[in-house]
Structure 1
Amino acid sequence: MRHRRDLILLLQHGYIWLWMLIFVLPFLATLVYSLRTADGWSLRPYAAIFGSFKDNLLLSFETTLISIVVNLLLSLPAAYAIVRFPVPGKGFILSVLNLALYTPAVVMGISLVIVYNFLFHIAQSLLGLIGAYVVGTYPLMLIPIVVALRDLPTVYEEAARCLGANRLQTLLRVEIPLLGAGISAGILLTFVIVFNEFLVTLFVAGPGNTTAALRVFNLTRTAGIQPSTAALATTMQLVSFVMVVAFFRFFGSRYLKGTYLI
């Protein structure tokens, strides 16, 4: 009986490790390819990260951080209006606000090009690029905050007001900290999506607004998969991985205790 349990346990672990290897294999292959040069194994392809690719990475970070801030500033009041106030047709409004989640990226790109060219006149500009990211990822910030706010009892707000805090103090010192789980989840989702987005970027970005993801696509299309291109792709993978690990390390341990995480 003991040998049977050991065998079942071994098969369970083997099953998990097998699928983990299958999922991770493409990323490992990219890492290995980025280290291959004509002279053998080398880190020289990564020199381009601090050279010709530096501006692309900085632009990706800049647009991602700005998109996160804009999304947060828009989502907090919208979530409060939807959850705390009797807004007529809030279900329909929420569905419209989440429209970007159900729209294919190609359709989103074409629609933004039309609007930016003929209505707002911000086509191929940095403002247009950030606007496209905000439109595409706004629901990813809004939904976690709405869920967190729905689960937050109003007694905390009422207690703070009874103890002399005004509305702004209650919001900043009591409610927003208690919404940390939703806010941090929205930040993580926005970061991962915007930092790695290229399809919508392909439609709306101008010649001087080439993000890291778009640079990888352009180089692969024109010159094939070079070690330096693989190095840039590996760096983007590493940034996203570090972001996710940091989220679960610093936020998960605080907000996700008692859930599926150990």
Structure 2
Amino acid sequence: MATTVCTWNINSVRLREPIVLKLLQEQQPDVLCLQECKALVELIPTQNFADLGYKYMVARGQKGYNGVAILSRIPMTDAGHRQFVGKKDARHCAATLENGMTIHNFYVPAGGDIPDVEKNDKFDHKLKFLNEMRDWFHDDSPEKSVLVGDLNIAPREDDVWNHKQLLKIVSHTPIECEHLAQVQDSANWVDITRQDIPDGNLYSWWSYRARDWDAADKGRRLDHVWATPDISNAAHSSRVYRDARGWEKPSDHAPVFATFDL
């Protein structure tokens, strides 16, 4: 059975409910993973999602910040969550679909503006978060699993609009890319997006600050779909749905899709 998974940093699920509904109606993923929901779980507008067939939800929330949710039209069970760096941030949740595939939905800290752990607590938090992800997956050895989310790092040179200019910019610094690579290596996660689209510039985020984001095209690939090796060959049809970045009152992120034949 083909299962299409989509990940999207929505930047407030209540504020942008209309474009979530638009995506669900037009693209009809089986599973939609949202980050930065910025809402308590009980305030997520579930009824309108359910009316479109997305009757199942696993979510973790907090007031005004962070928050992750997995919406599905396939039955699934809550597979728990993990808190990182001693904080009670809602930055991870997991669900297991009826086909046995477990989806981990992550919102990795952005890390602030200064890539220096001594001068910037947020950057220190980000690196420690990634270290804990690495250690967890190394110890847990997940199988038949997919990891998606806003990982807030664009690891490859062609994941950013200008590699040299961004080497000292948070999200593309060598130390962040190294930490993300260690997370990926911890369970031999396969970058499904780049497995399907191995060459060329590819972005999923464009700043709100750009007067014309589309023309300037100064993007970064911050949103990712990974899979464990046992199911990576079942993945196909990866794409970034760039059009959504141009919708009314958009998120600054675009949805990223992949399909798994399991």
Same fold by TM-score greater than 0.5:
no
Structure 1 or 2: larger helix share? 1
For the pair shown, the structure with the greater C-alpha radius of gyration is: 1
Structure 1 or 2: larger strand share? 2
- TM (norm. structure 1) is 0.25
